[in-house]
Structure 1
Amino acid sequence: MDYCTQIQLEARYGEALLVEISDRADVPTGTIDAELITRAITDATALIDGYLAGRYQLPLATIPALVTDLAQRIAIYYAHSNVASEKISKDYEAALRQLKDIASGLIKLDAGGAEPAGSGASEVRTNDSERPLSAATMKGYI
């Protein structure tokens, strides 16, 4: 399941930008290349899943607004064939930083009831066995 849609990208960035970055035909058609945009969205989703997989059960039961926002910023960056504008590049870099924070646990997602996967680092195990060396067994040595 993708974390954003072409319609959401159009609403956020405008149809004109999507036409500009996706219409790569020899003779421009003036339309959005839906296949290219879908591929960018799919690639963005795969990247996000890679960061979330270590901490959350995938697929997410509900998609948090933050994840949709990150997917949009990454997908629009991926859709550019040439150098993206400075704003889009900075948004992409900020999205990657946020994904790293999510993966490390600094940012927590409301993942619709999915429990974060335990790392095992916080577990404490004890062994309550009988002590082989006690005052009774060491009688005469102590």
Structure 2
Amino acid sequence: MTYATQQDLIDRYGEDRLIALTDRAETPTGAFDTALIARVLADTDALIDGYLMARYALPLAVVPPQLRPLAEVLGYYDLHLYEPDEKAKADHKLALDSLKDIAKGIIQLEVGGAEPDVNDAGGVTTTDRDRPFTASNLKSFI
């Protein structure tokens, strides 16, 4: 499932900025590399799915509105070949924190569908070892 498109990145960051980040040809072409953008957005989708699968059944029927901006920020950060600026770093950290909160259930997504089955391993655990204190070895204390 695609959470953001190339057009979403253009709308958010501008065509000139994307050209500057993706035109990596030896002789600049003045156009953005659509294959690079598609690969980065696919990697971003996989990252988001990794966080979502902890709480939601995938693929989602509809893309929740909270995910598109997160995918845009993560994709934009990954397009940087060299060190991104401070704003891009801060936005990237905030997006990852939001994904962690979604995985923990702190942020709820409005999606139709069931949450994945949760393992009920939180019950009582017992052991079969011998009891250290029995009626026979406590006779002298009573």
Q: Structure 1: which 5+ runs fail to align?
A: 125-142
Q: Is 1:62 aligned to 2:62, yes or no?
A: yes
Instruction: Give per-residue Cα distances to partners, 1:67-116, cap 9 Å, x unaligned.
Output: 111110100011111111111111111000000000001001011x1122
User: How far apart, in 2, do the equivalents of 1:14 and 1:66 lie?
Assistant: 21
User: How far apart, in 1, do the equivalents of 2:116 and 2:98 lie?
Assistant: 19
The aligned residue for residue 86 of structure 1 is: 86
- The amino acid that maps onto 1:51 is Y
Q: Is 1:109 aligned to 2:105, yes or no?
A: no
The aligned residue for residue 44 of structure 2 is: 44
Q: Structure 2: which 5+ runs fail to align?
A: 124-142
**SS of the counterpart of 1:31?**
coil
User: How far apart, in 2, do the equivalents of 1:73 and 1:46 lie?
Assistant: 14
- The two structures have a TM-score, normalised by structure 2, of 0.82
The aligned residue for residue 4 of structure 1 is: 4
- The amino acid that maps onto 1:7 is Q
- The amino acid that maps onto 2:11 is A
The aligned residue for residue 118 of structure 2 is: 119
User: How far apart, in 1, do the equivalents of 2:23 and 2:30 lie?
Assistant: 7
- The amino acid that maps onto 2:103 is A
Provide the aligned length of Structure 1 versus Structure 2: 124
**SS of the counterpart of 2:92?**
helix
Deviation, 1:118, is: 4.0
- The two structures have a TM-score, normalised by structure 1, of 0.82
User: How far apart, in 1, do the equivalents of 2:89 and 2:47 lie?
Assistant: 16
The aligned residue for residue 33 of structure 1 is: 33
Deviation, 1:123, is: 8.0
Deviation, 1:122, is: 9.4
User: How far apart, in 2, do the equivalents of 1:89 and 1:69 lie?
Assistant: 15
The aligned residue for residue 71 of structure 2 is: 71
**SS of the counterpart of 1:65?**
coil
